Structure 1
Amino acid sequence: MTEHAAVVRGRTVPKRRVDALLAAVPARDRESTRPEALARAERQRRRWATQVVVIDELAQRACVDRGLKPPAEVAPDRVLAVAETDVADLGSIVAAALAHSPAARLLLAELEGEQEVAEAAVRDYYDRNRDRFLTPEALRRGVDPFGGVSSEDFVPYEQAREGVGRELQRAAGRRAFFGWLDRAKAGVEYAAGHEHPGDPAHPDHEHRH
């Protein structure tokens, strides 16, 4: 009987790591669900948890490769708290991996710090999203940011510039993280029952992230 969930760069990822994560994330209440649907949901939950654990493993390797201090070991008995906004922006697997894995968070921070945002990109964002930079007083008056406004109704570019730059750098860091993850996962081999939830090779796949 296979005791590993996946093989990452020739090294096995034990099933017990997946089991520990599943124990930390209670299943949703499905009392009224049909048995076959419940079994399918549990299979998908195991595949989802495997992805989270594999991302942690890949991130730990990446931190070592980059000479970063390996973070403290993951606490698998901690229930994850994942913000709904992160799920919407990142997908449930990556959002959970970042909540679960100190190595993934460290790697994301490192990648974000490497991003350079050009002044022209900051200015362009400011100019194209003027509705985001109305002053509090203009918002109270219900000013239409696309008509009948004056320059006094907007936060000056000089005041907004730093915040916009941070936001663009954060977005670029997340794109870099996704790019790294796509490349890193290319050589991962999964044991039966631990494939990606959206892998069309298994019959009950679902295309969710």
Structure 2
Amino acid sequence: MTEEYAARVNGETVPKERVDTFLAQGPTTPPRSAGHVDMRLRHEGATSHNGPAAERRHSAALAAERQRRRWATQVVLVDELARRTCAKRGLPAPPEMSSSLTPNVPEADVADLGSIVAAALAHSPAARALLAALEGEQLLPEEAVREYYDLNRDRFLTPEALRRGVDPFDDAAGPADLLPYEHAREGIVRELQQALGRRAFFDWLDRARTGVEYAPGHEHPGDPSHADHEHRH
């Protein structure tokens, strides 16, 4: 019997069962489009429980479920690609992916990363290990760190200067109003490495996806070739 698969990566299958398991466990990060669908359903269901409105509700619910499966396929795929890349890099084998005992994804991360990558990082130890490795590879010249400090003085005002309403870009703002560069440097380096690491992660993912083929019903949620495609994922 031919194995049912959700996707193929360079000819190797990613079993459909992995997507089914992830969905059954109830991932904590839903597609960002889910709220949009829910609002539409509430609006259309306000006047009637049957007839055309009920048909639209049913159709919208089916579309939302199809999109949820496509979204989940992408999360599982990121885990699979990250697992393979970790092995190629000689990183320790990460634990299996799970939707339990993982932190909730902050809304800011969902907005910055998109719900697919944010959920993958929440549920996939392999994705987190790869991102950490990429962040650690980012080398920052001292000049870049200092430039960030000089251009973002508003972020380094002391609590007292904030209470007084000091304008950090005014000539009247003195050294005592700002956290010294030596004290701020470590946090700046960490923040810039995180930003560059995320950019490197997205670059890696774009390259890694080039050899992927999807089974029907498991296409990318934003793929315009299927009727339910949704770009706000």
The interval holding the TM-score normalised by the smaller chain is over 0.9
TM normalised by structure 2 equals 0.83
Q: Amino acid of the residue matched to residue 53 of structure 1?
A: V
Number of the residue aligned with 1:105: 128
Local SS of the residue matching 1:189: strand
> How far has the Cα of 1:175 moved from its partner?
0.8
Local SS of the residue matching 1:12: strand
When Rg is computed on C-alpha atoms for both structures, the one with the higher figure is: 2
Report which stretch shifted further, 118-127 or 75-84: 75-84
Q: Give the distance between the partners of 1:79 and 1:138, measured in 2 at CA.
A: 39
Number of the residue aligned with 1:61: 84
In structure 2, the gaps of 5 or more residues are 46-56
Report which stretch shifted further, 119-128 or 147-156: 147-156
Q: What are the within-5 Å matches in structure 2 for residues 1-209 of structure 1?
A: 3-25=4-26, 30=38, 32=42, 34-76=57-99, 81-147=104-170, 148-209=172-233
* Residues 6 and 194 in structure 1, CA contact (< 8 A), matched pair in contact too: yes
* Residues 25 and 80 in structure 1, CA contact (< 8 A), matched pair in contact too: no
Report which stretch shifted further, 55-64 or 156-165: 156-165
Q: Give the distance between the partners of 1:80 and 1:42, measured in 2 at CA.
A: 24
In structure 1, the gaps of 5 or more residues are none
Local SS of the residue matching 1:144: coil
Q: Amino acid of the residue matched to residue 16 of structure 2?
A: K
Q: Give the distance between the partners of 2:74 and 2:4, measured in 1 at CA.
A: 16
Q: Give the distance between the partners of 1:179 and 1:68, measured in 2 at CA.
A: 19
Local SS of the residue matching 1:202: coil
Query: How many matched pairs?
Result: 209
Report which stretch shifted further, 144-153 or 14-23: 144-153
> How far has the Cα of 1:84 moved from its partner?
1.2
Q: Give the distance between the partners of 1:108 and 1:156, measured in 2 at CA.
A: 30
Local SS of the residue matching 2:66: helix
Report which stretch shifted further, 85-94 or 67-76: 67-76
Q: Give the distance between the partners of 2:109 and 2:14, measured in 1 at CA.
A: 26
> How far has the Cα of 1:72 moved from its partner?
1.4
Shift of the 77–146 alpha-carbon distance from structure 1 to 2, 3 Å rule, reads closer
> How far has the Cα of 1:94 moved from its partner?
0.1
Q: Give the distance between the partners of 1:119 and 1:77, measured in 2 at CA.
A: 41
Percent identity between the two aligned chains: 67
* Residues 24 and 80 in structure 1, CA contact (< 8 A), matched pair in contact too: no
Q: Give the distance between the partners of 1:78 and 1:35, measured in 2 at CA.
A: 33
* Residues 5 and 18 in structure 1, CA contact (< 8 A), matched pair in contact too: yes
Report which stretch shifted further, 142-151 or 165-174: 142-151
Local SS of the residue matching 1:81: coil
